[in-house]
Amino acid sequence: MTVKKRASAVIGAGIIMGALVGAALGVLWWQLAPRVPVVVNGSDVRPDGFQPEGFFAADVAFMVLALVAGIIVTVGLARMRREDLLGVLAAALISGAIGTSVMWFVGTRLGSVDVEGLVGTTEAEIVVDGPLSVSLPAAFVVWPLVAAIIVTLLALGDWLAQRRSARLSHS
């Protein structure tokens, strides 16, 4: 099997794993993340008080799930093709980008609220759970960043092992 075929196999596995794990984690994020209550009053929509902790908790839940996914998926890809770390890196980065996007898409669709529709249908002031969202853009790079760190550590470990074995063979 050529290097190109090995790399394409691990990249294909990364795409599939990223999409499947991202969809599952999107559902989990939707279940775990708190919602920020919003007040709908006529045409006015505002958060119910000052609640940065609600937005922050949803972002932290997203990032923790992305961190865990980055570790598990990258280790799985590395076990699949340890001898081809460059292919594993490419697959892990692609998997992270796809997985994070799918996780965000599934979670925000499941946690969506038609606030504009409520504005048009009610005259009284009501409090509803706001839509689920990610407010920290850095949350989207957690999975790929963790994947890159893991592959770098694996490459460093392989390099150190080669150096050690070369020293032992020269002694």
Q: Is residue 122 part of a domain?
A: yes
Q: Is residue 151 part of a domain?
A: yes
How many domains in the chain? 1
77 token code pair: 């890809």
Q: Is residue 66 part of a domain?
A: yes
Range of the domain at 98: 3-163
Q: What pLDDT is attached to residue 102?
A: 97
Q: What pLDDT is attached to residue 53?
A: 80
- C-alpha torsion sign, points 99, 102, 104, 106: negative
How high is the mean pLDDT in each 10-residue block of the chain (171 residues)? 70 94 96 83 67 85 97 94 88 96 95 71 72 90 97 93 84 65
Q: Is residue 132 part of a domain?
A: yes
Q: What pLDDT is attached to residue 118?
A: 66
Q: Is residue 144 part of a domain?
A: yes
Q: What are the respective helix, strand and coil percentages of the chain, to the nearest 5?
A: 75, 10, 20
Q: What pLDDT is attached to residue 137?
A: 93
Q: Is residue 101 part of a domain?
A: yes
User: How far apart are the C-alpha atoms of 15 and 9, rounded to whole Å?
Assistant: 10
Q: Is residue 168 part of a domain?
A: no
Half-sphere exposure of 115 (CA within 13 A, CB side): 20
Q: What pLDDT is attached to residue 43?
A: 66
Q: Is residue 169 part of a domain?
A: no
User: How far apart are the C-alpha atoms of 152 and 165, rounded to whole Å?
Assistant: 20
